[in-house]
Amino acid sequence: MTAADPTARPALFHGPIDLHLHSNRSDGTEDPAVVVERAAEAGLGTLSLTDHDTTIGWVEAAAAASERGLTFIPGMELSSKDGWRSVHVLAYLFDPDDPDLAAETARIRDDRIGRAERIVRNIGRDYPLTWADVLAQTDPGATIGRPHIADALVARGIAADRGEAFDGILHPRQGYYEGHYASDPLTAIELVVAAGGVPVIAHPAGRERMTDAMIARLIDAGLGGFEIDHRENTAEGRAWLHRIAAEHDLIVTGSSDYHGAGKPNRPGENTTAPEMLQRIIDRGSGSAPIYPARSR
């Protein structure tokens, strides 16, 4: 018979666990409370709202989660770029008031506005699309991005859905694309760690993949882990990530990347193991999970 480990604490959260969902505070299509509702309907016990470059959805999502008996993990998907490659850094349990990280996200959100205007001006030379069309698709205060331009193209009847817009007019090769400000991934990781957060690279084995050399530098800077179970990671890419994670004892997660009606991704289509969430909780010191007011 094995004795119970006296140091083991009972987990305060319930599964299944999905640590990557978006609301209309960035490029999802639903209010944070509705995202929580969809997560509950999918049978999830724990979720993280990870809007791009913003934490403004946290309060509403945390209240809704508490009400529905779900655990809420404060999160964000921070934009960064390695040359032309965009690198998304999921950040968990950081301090939302950390001045350096807050200044970085404010700068990204602000620069995204001028960038979106430039893209719309470029498209407007060839298609009947205006900035007002895009604003009509964007929640006030939301982090604006190409998905909102996609929605405006759909509303105008120029594209059938977001996917068609991204494959066509919004694709960089079409010539309308403009980039936005973001730090390099190393700086992004350092900012998250300094804010008490746990950085996890989102969908690292999708179309745009970092080099092994860059990943080694990120690990040295305090990278927490990889989001491996994500629909955009290739099978071969997942094996590559598992090898690196095992070698460096990194956290591995699985998530949906839910965007409401903006993507086919469904809440809970991939999930994170409880022991991996426990490692994130043990390591994060800038904010705390919000446990439900009542259990389900």
Residue 134, SS3?
A: helix
HSE, side-chain direction, 13 A CA sphere, residue 208: 11
- Closer residue to ligand AMP, CB minimum distance, 166 or 291: 166
- Rounded CA-CA distance 189/90 in Å is 10
Residue nearest to ligand AMP (CB): 145
Residue 263 is classified by DSSP as S
Determine the residue type at 230. H
Contact positions with ligand AMP (CB under 6 A) in 150-189: 162-163, 166
Residue nearest to Mn ion (CB): 88
Residue 162, SS3?
A: helix
Residue 147 CB, shortest distance to ligand AMP, in Å, is 5
- Closer residue to ligand AMP, CB minimum distance, 95 or 104: 104
Tell me the β-bridge partners of 71.
46
Q: What is the DSSP string of 31-82?
A: -HHHHHHHHHHTT-SEEEE--BT--TTHHHHHHHHHHHT-EEEEEEEEEEEE
Query: Quick one: what does residue 202 bind among Mn ion, ligand AMP, none, with the CB cut-off 5 to 8 Å set by partner type?
Result: Mn ion
Tell me the β-bridge partners of 90.
77, 200
Residue 179 CB, shortest distance to ligand AMP, in Å, is 8
263 binds ligand AMP (CB under 6 A): yes
Contact positions with Mn ion (CB under 5 A) in 13-32: 27
Which pair of tokens denotes residue 78?
């921070």
Residue 160, SS3?
A: coil
145 binds ligand AMP (CB under 6 A): yes
28 binds ligand AMP (CB under 6 A): no
- Rounded CA-CA distance 179/172 in Å is 9
**Does residue 99 have a cis peptide bond before it, meaning omega lies within 30 degrees of 0?**
no
Contact positions with ligand AMP (CB under 6 A) in 75-114: none
Contact in structure between 19 and 50 (CB atoms under 8 Å): yes
Q: Which residue has the tokens 């069309």?
A: 133
Which stretch in 127-135, 140-148, 204-212, 239-247 sits in contact with ligand AMP by CB under 6 A? 140-148
- Identified binder of Mn ion from the candidate list 123, 134, 188, 202, rule CB under 5 A: 202
- Closer residue to ligand AMP, CB minimum distance, 21 or 244: 21
- Rounded CA-CA distance 185/88 in Å is 8
Binding characters for Mn ion, 83-122, by CB under 5 A (x = yes): -----x----------------------------------
Quick one: how far is CA 77 from the chain centroid? 3
Contact positions with Mn ion (CB under 5 A) in 218-257: 257
- Identified binder of ligand AMP from the candidate list 237, 262, 284, 286, rule CB under 6 A: 262
Determine the residue type at 77. E
Which pair of tokens denotes residue 138?
């964007």
Query: Quick one: what does residue 104 bind among ligand AMP, Mn ion, none, with the CB cut-off 5 to 8 Å set by partner type?
Result: none
Contact positions with ligand AMP (CB under 6 A) in 220-259: 259
- Identified binder of ligand AMP from the candidate list 146, 203, 230, 279, rule CB under 6 A: 146
Residue 285 CB, shortest distance to ligand AMP, in Å, is 27
| Residues found near ligand AMP in the complex (CB under 6 A) | 27, 52, 145-147, 162-163, 166, 259, 262-263
